[in-house]
Structure 1
């Protein structure tokens, strides 16, 4: 028993003939008859009977048509409720961000969305490897994710990708370091340094492995730290050099650090929003995405 079959039964009771039902629903009379026959197969009691040349409802058909009208009304109410939910400006929107994005964006995003008609944003941070970001869309409405520009694209099955910004990673050294005055560096210039980098599977380690490949020598990794604030402290102390995102990694140690563009290898990472397609139907979710774009644009400028 399907909803459109109940609708046909209801219209037959109201209009009194298969031809009239077909005209009202803009289908063929044979299609109406086929649907009524399919509906009848689910019941032992006849739902329709012949009255001259017309097909009319039996008492059982009238009972089912009445109950079907209630089901049709309930479905219409449910559809309207979903449409109202999707069109609402307010409402809670859950957003997950990786650590550096959270530190750089969350405060400004909340300021951007302050107001009575703005969505309520529920923030959390998830420090995961690149391959694990898409799975987070099952838990959050929006997922801030990053991947290196040269890496495999995000999967498209069941996930929408909204690009936000292309962010370079720079070599970072202490202000006292011999390279601090350079306008740019090559892999050969920094491959022999002591390094602080991320764990394997994260953007800085990807760049460091590219440096080693281009320079044709292994790099000396002394520390593996994922928090950019801690990385900045190690760099500022002069203990090691590292890679820092240009826009989304700022700390109290920035005055003791010099960031230098790295040439000769790909250093850009893509910061994107990942989401389930159905979540992006909601106006409140799209509002948060628009605000994220404005906040990141201001940060990059």
Structure 2
């Protein structure tokens, strides 16, 4: 049993397929399969099994994958103690985030005074909610969002750092008759034309709830995930949209305004997802604190 074999098993637990593991580790699928086969020889109980065409972990495999995560955390803790602060300060921190959070906090993080933070490498990831945890395989920190009524993050595999709760509001042109109301009920808005995200993303989830409460299907004319594009379409068409209150604010034209949804606590939780081993790095903790402060300023407005 070797460390790289344990890592492959852990990645299979997090990523869900041999092909995804191969892509993440820059090796061939056959190499992944070979390493898993070599690891299996060390244990009498099967670690993996077929689920249709996919290879998944057995209960015993999940136990070993959890142990692999613990080993990685221990090794990272020791490595952090061995490295000097100067060496650690020069190691880049890789940060992924969904589009709207990237638009609003990536640049402010880069504006921190020189030397206060290590080098930061950003990527935007437009994924469905359930796919955020797997991104921790490729990034040190992952900015993710989750609707409150959905399944919790897998905290047996990753650490979760709450940042903020962001309401999702009705986006509406200021000259629309409904803009005269401080709040808008599902019954008031259901007959309007809509600009929302694709299914599986927060705005579409909220619109489904509005439709259920109003007892009518919505008329969706445009499905776009980019909030700046959605805002432009709302301005040009007079359609209504559903946008996040804090992260969409900077991208909206002054002709578009936001209104809370009456009697509906619609919103999403914004969290940082991170593998436990990264929390042993002092520079990662510094970046986490900078992200916390930046998000706090965003919420205050």
CA–CA distance in 2 between the matches of 1:242 and 1:228? 9
Instruction: Give yes or no for contact 1:169–1:246 (8 Å, CA) kept in 2.
Output: yes
**SS at the partner of 1:105?**
helix
* Counterparts of residues 78-227 of structure 1 (less than 5 Å): 81-85=79-83, 88-112=88-112, 114-227=113-226
Listed as ranges, the gaps of 5+ residues in structure 2 are: 1-75
TM-score by length of 2: 0.71
**SS at the partner of 1:144?**
strand
CA–CA distance in 2 between the matches of 1:254 and 1:149? 29
CA–CA distance in 2 between the matches of 1:167 and 1:264? 16
Aligned-residue Cα RMSD (Å) equals 1.8
**SS at the partner of 2:95?**
strand
Residue 151 (structure 1) shift: 1.6
The runs of at least 4 aligned residues of structure 1 exceeding 2 Å deviation read: 78-82, 84-91, 250-254
* Aligned twin of 2:43: none
CA–CA distance in 2 between the matches of 1:89 and 1:175? 48
Larger Rg computed on CA atoms: 1
Of 234-243 and 209-218, the range deviating more from structure 2: 234-243
Matched positions, count: 223
Q: Could you give the per-residue CA deviations for residues 267-300 of structure 1, whole angstroms, max 9, x where no partner exists? A: 1100000010001111111111100110011111
Instruction: Give yes or no for contact 1:89–1:117 (8 Å, CA) kept in 2.
Output: no
CA–CA distance in 1 between the matches of 2:116 and 2:210? 49
Residue 248 (structure 1) shift: 0.5
Say if 1:279 and 1:261 are closer, same or farther in 2 by CA, change over 3 A: same
CA–CA distance in 1 between the matches of 2:247 and 2:83? 33
Say if 1:86 and 1:220 are closer, same or farther in 2 by CA, change over 3 A: farther
CA–CA distance in 2 between the matches of 1:207 and 1:155? 23
Residue 266 (structure 1) shift: 2.8
**SS at the partner of 1:248?**
coil
Listed as ranges, the gaps of 5+ residues in structure 1 are: 1-77
CA–CA distance in 2 between the matches of 1:161 and 1:86? 27
TM-score by length of 1: 0.71
CA–CA distance in 2 between the matches of 1:103 and 1:153? 25
CA–CA distance in 2 between the matches of 1:85 and 1:242? 50
